[in-house]
Amino acid sequence: MRPKILLVDDNKDLCEDFKLWFEEYDITCAPSAEEALALLSRPNDLDLVIMDVNMPGMGGLAALETINASTPGTRVIIMTGFSTKDTAIRALRGKASGYIEKPFSLKDMRTAIEKELAGRGTEDSIGH
């Protein structure tokens, strides 16, 4: 059975491309943090969440806090095109299991996904 990944990003093109780039995974897309939280609040068998920081409405870091409070143990990779030291620190403090900068290389994203799915990620595994 293919691992299930929830990609949370308001960029529809990225979502469609992501499905093509990572065909070995079952990718579900959510265009907003609010929609992602609604999906996560229902019974699901998601293995990993990949979430953008900057989205309309609730941002990815606020959603990360909510996910940790409501469904602890959910693995979340935070990605951002506007990386700053503050963003990285907030992701780390928010217990993101990974952090990747956009634009990302497919190799780096694949490595981050495989690491999280293998369960080798740690709370402080921030890399790019």
**Tokens linked to 97:** 């299991």
Token readout for 122 is 């740690």
Q: Where are the beta strands (DSSP E) in 9-126?
A: 26-30, 48-52, 76-80, 98-101
pTM for the full predicted model: 0.90
Q: Which of 78, 2, 90 is nearest to 36 (CA)?
A: 78
Residue with tokens 């956009």: 102
pLDDT bracket for residue 7 (50, 70, 90): very high
53-106, pLDDT tens digit by residue?
999 999 999 999 999 999 888 999 999 998 888 998 899 888 999 999 999 999
Q: CB-based contacts of 124: which residues, under 8 Å, 6+ apart?
A: 92
